[in-house]
Every structure is written in C-alpha cells, then in structure tokens.
Structure 1
Amino acid sequence: MAVVIDYNDISTIQTEGEAVRIWCDGCFDMMHYGHANVLRQAKSFGSFLIAGVHSSEEIAKNKGPPVLTLDERAKLLGSVRWVDQVVINAPYSTSVKTLDKFGCDFCVHSEDIALTAEGVDAYAEIKAAGRYRFSKRTPGVSTTDLIGRIASRFVEDYNKNSQIKESPWTTMGGSCPTSQIIALFSSLREANSTDKIIYVPGAFDCFRILPTVDTNHSEKIKYFQSTLTVIRYYAISDIGHVNFLESIRKHGSYIIVGLYSDEYVDNIVIDAPYNITSNFLERFQIDLVCCGQAANSIKINGTEDPYKEPKRQGKLKIVDSGCSFTVENLINRILKDRKLYAKRNQDKAKKEITQYNLWQKIQTEAEAK
C-alpha cells in the first residue's frame, strides 16, 4: 500500500538520486480500469509515481459531487501497484509549484481535456512550461459513464430529457482490451513450489448486464450482488474489495483473482466457473479458497452451493475484511443523489463537447496552412 500524505502538510520534498519522479493527479472516483491504465502508463515515464487526489470540495466545485469520500478514494488509489505515494487534497489545477514541491520532473494525464469550473484547461500552466506528458486514454470507460449506467439501470427516467449530446471522451460504449493490454496488468510471476496458492472467486464488477426484472431497487440490488463474474473490463474497485484482498494476502503467497488494478493480485482467471470443482482446484493447484462473509451467504436461485467442493476438501476460508462497504452502498449513494449526478454528467458533457469542437477547429485550420 502506497504511503498517503496531505498536500497541505508538506512544504518541499528533498529528493535524492536520479530517479525520474512523475506526478499524476485526478479525482479517481469509483476507481476503474481506465484509472489503472493511466497510472500504469504514467509509471512507465519514470521510476517513482506520485498520485495526487483532489478533495471532495474541489471536485464538487469543478465537476460535481464525487460518489466516494476523499479517504475512500485515497485508499483505492494507494492499492494500485504502480503508485508509490498518494497526495490527498491536491489542487484541481496543476501548477509548476506543485511539481517542484514534490520534486517531480513532469505530470502525466490522459489525452482528454480536464476543465475547471471556469472552463479553463487545468493543465495549461505546466503545458506552457513543457512539463506535461499525455497518456493514451482508455476508450469505453469513465466515471461519468459508469454513474450514468448504474443510475439508468435502476431509474427508468434517468437522463430521459437530456438534450446534451454524448461527449467523445466520457461516453464511449464499452471497452475491449487486447490480450497485449491485459498482459501489461499482470505481475508476470508464476507460482512456485513453495507458494501457498489462494483462489478468490467474486464479481468485482458493478456493471454486469442484468435481464429485465420487474422489481424495486432493493430487490434489483440484491440480484445485482448475487451474480458472479470473475472478470469484466469495466471493473471497479471499492473499499470492501481492497480490504478483502489485503486480508487474504495474509493467508497465502500467491493470489489468483479477477481484479486488474490491485497490487495484492498475482494472476487472473477469465470466465471462471461459478461452481468450484475438484478439477478446477487441481488444475490451478489451489491450497485455499477464500470468500467474504457476504459472498458466502449469496446463492443464485436454482443453483447449488458454489463452495460445496472446497468445503468438502476443507479448503474454504471465510475472510472478514473488517469493512462493511458493499456494492449496495455504492449504488444507493448514486441513486440517492441521481438528479445531482444527472446534472453533473450533462454539464460535463456540454463543456467537453465545446472544447472538443474548438480543438477540431484548430486542428483543421492548422492542416489547411
């Protein structure tokens, strides 16, 4: 877990050696695959990555209210394998002063434009100073889009009357990573004969496609939680996921699970079976199957206990993460303030479309000369 420090508690950091220090900041709300991919690319520019995360007040002022608290976002950010240090309360507009304060050579941000409440590029100053690098944006996934998808799945009239077109940056309609990209998220470490191998099945996904269910929000959420998918490419991490994986790490040395952006994971199983069979346990040489307290109590109607075989072999361990945060908490936060999030998404899309059209105009004029 990366060390977390407060921007306001630091004067100037004295750096030693020739390490290239990188600054990468953002809201990092509802940590997802796109965030992890930006951080992965940012780390490739140097050897020490500092991730700055904005306060909830700054985000509300410039974009609209975040779903997660500052502490929750910092915890998730610190769990990403490429992050060496987390700085909370980082200014929304990145300045040369900030880079110098933390001894950073330059800042890395994805190629989409981040705008302040006044419509100004938040990275204008460091771009002018030549201390800005951009990473390729991950198409098909953004916090804005994910909030919209969750809300629209549970509320039929969400965004129904919006006249705003979709932003080219934040509403892309799904991500399809290649095998090469997926490999970049692996630790590339094979299990050895001395490792105690733990298998962790779980959804780790808030965005599985649900069939039409004529039920209320509460029942839909319960169904939502009962689905099992070991890996989806929109997958987000929540505090419960991170605490759970931290706890599991204490019980073994090689963890197999479907969560890309977390430092506690060694390998991934795609399309893992819902029912854990003896053949599956033998194939992956699994010593222990771990699940959370909530997962152990979930059973999809008409199916047998997915942990029946691990229980028979004495290989099941129920792990208490010490955290009560669940997918249901996340969904309820969004549904509770869905009108605010709808307005936030519309305002953000409007600003991005204006900026995108301006950028295209400049590009066209430059090519015509």
Structure 2
Amino acid sequence: MDYESNSWIRDGVYYYPQFVGGLMLTAALLGLSSSYFGGIGLFSLPYIRSDLGIFHKKKCQKKRIRVFMDGCFDLMHYGHANALRQAKALGDELVVGVISDEEIIANKGPPVLSIEERLALVSGLKWVDQVIVNVPYAITEKFMDTLFNEHKIDYIVHGDDPCYLPDGTDAYALAKEAGRYKQIKRTEGVSSTDIVGRILSSINDNKACEDHSDTILCGDPSKGSQPKGARISQFLPTSRRIVQFSNGKGPGPNASVVYIDGAFDLFHAGHVEILKSARQLGDFLLVGIHSDQTVSSCRGSNYPIMHLHERSLSVLACRYVDEVIIGAPWEITADMITTFNISLVVHGTVAESNPLLVGKNDQYAVPKSMGIFRMLESPKSITTTSVAQRIIANHEAYMKRNAKKAESEKKYYAEKTHVSGD
C-alpha cells in the first residue's frame, strides 16, 4: 500500500474526525496515570499509521489522455505539423495514423511520397509519440474499436475542414456519434494541393522560357523576380507561430553546437534523416535556412517552391532541430562561427545541384580552414528536385487530382466561418 509522507494527521482528522477524536481522548486518559496500567505505554501514532493506513489518501496517478489523428501526410508541410501540434495540446500523448498507399489511391488519387517516406516525416515531428502505419482512410466501426480498446485512444482529432469519402459521407461520422471526436483549426495558406499546383505551374513557366528569352517572363534571380506563372504563397507568417514551433532554449555553456545549412525546400524524408545524423554529432543542432533570393540565385527562378517562413517552420517542427537561422548567409564566416559558438559544420553527400554557382567561392572555406568541417553521408538519395520530378512526370494524373481537390477547397473557403484556436 502506498502512503504519503506528510500531513497524515491533518488527513486523518479531515476524513475520520470521530475516530481520531476518540483516539486522542483515549490517549489523554491513558496518559493520566501510567502506574494504573502497570507501566504499559501507548503505541506511537506513527506505528498506528503505518500499520492501519487509515489516515491517508492513497496515491493515484492521473490518467494520461491519448489522442489520435490520421492523415495521408503526402508532401508534408508546416500545415500538417501545426495540425499535429494542436492535436498534441488536446492530450498527453499523440498517436498518429499514416494512411496506406492503397487507401490514398482509392480515395484521392496517387500519392507523391511512398508510405516509407511519409512515415519518416511523421516520425520526425517533435509532437508525435507513436505512429500506426497503414491505417484505413475512413474511421470504420472496427478500426474505431481497435483504437479505443487496443491503443487506448480517448479522442479522435481532425481539422475543421470537411473530409468526405467518395460516396459523400463524413469520414469521421462514427467518431462524432460516439462523442469521442475533437476538432482543431486548419492552418491557412497551405495544402498539399497548393504545393502540387506550385510545381505544376513551373511546367508552363519552363515551356515559356524555352520559347522566349524575355527575363521578365522567366524571372531574373539577381533581381529577386519570379516567373509570371509562379503561384504566390498565401501563408501569413506571425511571430506567434514561430514561437509555437520553437524549442525556446539555447545551448548550454559547454554544449557542442553542430551547424548544417541548406534550402530545405519541399521538406522530405532525406532532410529528416540528414538532420537526425547531424544531431547525433553534438549536443545542439543549429540549422541555417537560406533566403528565397539565395536559393533562386543558385538554382533558378522556379525555386524555392516553399518560401522562407514556410521552410523555417517545417525545419523547426523536426524533433532533431534545436534552433534555426532564418535567412542564413550563404558563406559561413569566422564571425558567425564565433557568435554561435559552432563546434562543427556538416554538409550531406546528397544535395541539390546549383548550376548558377559554377566558379564562385566555396561557402565552407572558413570552417574547412579551421578544421571543423565534415562531409556527412546522406542516408537517403531523395532531393527536392526528384520529388518535383515525380509530379511533373505524372502531371496529368496530378492535374486531375488537383482539379477535384481545388473544388472542395474552394467550397470550404466560401462557407468558412471563424474557428477559435491556434
């Protein structure tokens, strides 16, 4: 039996006033004459306490609330991350279900990322405690029973945007009927449909640039302009959102700070794995995220696909990242190394090609000269360009999928009302 170590008399008086009063009166009477009882003394109260255990409330542990949220998490972005952050805030433990490739094909069309890649992205998020792979697209009665009984889920969570099955029914209807459904606020300004649209728009831009040499049409990276067909991000960055994603802690005085930089555009499984490897080399991982203009000047005017603040939130959401530099300089200087107390600078063996940087200075010249630079073997060969090429190679299928999704999103925004939350 478990007991608390203090306040036992107070608890006894509160819960058993008559018994305690009688006991105290008896003790007082017995104390009047020890000789009357032949020198036999009264048992100490601590002894009575430990023997009977009647004066104490038993320790009880508060039940941990487990919440479940599922999704395709295809072309995972900061909107997905923010949804999972909100879901975690509704309980103590967040269990995430990743929908299978087959279910996505049947209900939405072909996914861009494989189940393995989507699993790596979800597992890499700082708010996720457990992942269930290959869950169904709809919350069926059988699956709901599995969640409640086997996984001990208390609530099922989804965004305020409707999720319909091909037959037009609500995918979360059963969870709502069971009274075990909670809703969170959708993150504005981004969706997988929007990102696919950004990539598909680059096809028309590239064709136009092949037919014309007009820099106004194709975009001049040196002037920070974009192609005419470029889709503008609808994301509205706020300081509050950055704070919500940030760890809010700096490195300790003797911490080994590892620095890695890049565009981290269209955040993918390769990014997660290289960040994990980099974090294992020290105590604190600092990530430099290059500005939009820097990325464009290196790779061309169709890049980056995701803008600086969007990319920053995706990186901040990764469980292996401690801090980011938003708009990090291209060249790493001695002053920067001193300012952030950087112990090691790393770069992956798999990286995007930068065709516009031929003949320019080595961005890692200073850390190399200081003996603190290291090439890090990239666990995966995936790149932002290779992901974009998957969409471009199957652009007809994705254009059809996007047209269908665009209609439902248009309807959502037309009927949208304010939803409290963040």
TM-score past 0.5 threshold: yes
What one-letter code is carried by the residue in structure 1 that aligns with 2:65? V
Offset, 1:173: 3.8
* Equivalent-residue separation in structure 2 for 1:297 and 1:69 (angstroms): 24
Offset, 1:99: 3.3
- Aligned residue for 2:342, secondary structure, equals coil
State whether structure 2 residue 83 is matched by structure 1 residue 27: no
Q: 1:138 to 1:351 in 2, by over 3 A?
A: closer
1:192 paired residue number: 252
2:155 paired residue number: 106
Query: Which sections of structure 2, spanning at least 5 residues, go unmatched?
Result: 1-60, 208-230, 290-314, 418-422
Q: 1:356 to 1:131 in 2, by over 3 A?
A: farther
List, as ranges, runs of 4+ consecutive aligned residues in structure 1 with deviation greater than 3 Å.
155-158, 294-299, 351-357
Q: TM-score, normalised by structure 2?
A: 0.67
State whether structure 2 residue 329 is matched by structure 1 residue 273: yes
State whether structure 2 residue 164 is matched by structure 1 residue 134: no
1:151 paired residue number: 200
Answer whether contact 1:22 1:107 (CA < 8 A) is retained.
yes
Offset, 1:350: 2.6
Answer whether contact 1:55 1:70 (CA < 8 A) is retained.
yes
Offset, 1:26: 0.5
Offset, 1:252: 0.7
- Aligned residue for 1:115, secondary structure, equals coil
- Aligned residue for 2:319, secondary structure, equals coil
Counterparts in 2 of 1:149-298, with a 5 A limit? 149-156=198-205, 173-206=233-266, 237-257=267-287, 258=289, 259-295=315-351, 298=354
Offset, 1:141: 0.9
1:66 paired residue number: 111
Q: 1:21 to 1:113 in 2, by over 3 A?
A: same
* Equivalent-residue separation in structure 1 for 2:382 and 2:132 (angstroms): 23
1:46 corresponds to which of 76, 91, 100: 91
Percent sequence identity is 41
State whether structure 2 residue 399 is matched by structure 1 residue 346: no
1:331 paired residue number: 388
1:303 paired residue number: 360
- Aligned residue for 2:248, secondary structure, equals coil
Q: 1:296 to 1:281 in 2, by over 3 A?
A: farther
Higher helix share: 2
Q: TM-score, normalised by structure 1?
A: 0.77
Answer whether contact 1:99 1:106 (CA < 8 A) is retained.
no
Offset, 1:150: 0.9
Range 291-300 or range 75-84, more displaced: 291-300
Offset, 1:346: 0.7
Deviations 1:154-190 (A, max 9, x none): 34599xxxxxxxxxxxx99421221111011111221
Range 87-96 or range 305-314, more displaced: 87-96
Q: 1:144 to 1:356 in 2, by over 3 A?
A: same
Query: Which sections of structure 1, spanning at least 5 residues, go unmatched?
Result: 1-15, 159-170, 207-236, 364-369
Q: 1:128 to 1:253 in 2, by over 3 A?
A: same
Answer whether contact 1:197 1:253 (CA < 8 A) is retained.
yes
Answer whether contact 1:119 1:351 (CA < 8 A) is retained.
no
1:231 paired residue number: none
* Equivalent-residue separation in structure 1 for 2:340 and 2:116 (angstroms): 36
What one-letter code is carried by the residue in structure 1 that aligns with 2:391? I
Deviations 1:48-88 (A, max 9, x none): 10000111111111111110011111111011010011111
Q: 1:338 to 1:244 in 2, by over 3 A?
A: same
Q: Which protein, 1 or 2, shows the higher relative CO under an 8 Å CA cutoff with sep ≥ 6? A: 1
1:84 paired residue number: 129
State whether structure 2 residue 372 is matched by structure 1 residue 315: yes
Range 263-272 or range 121-130, more displaced: 121-130
Deviations 1:172-214 (A, max 9, x none): 94212211110111112210122100111111014xxxxxxxx
Say which one has the larger Rg: 2
Matched residues, number: 303
Q: 1:172 to 1:351 in 2, by over 3 A?
A: farther
RMSD: 2.3
* Equivalent-residue separation in structure 2 for 1:262 and 1:311 (angstroms): 27
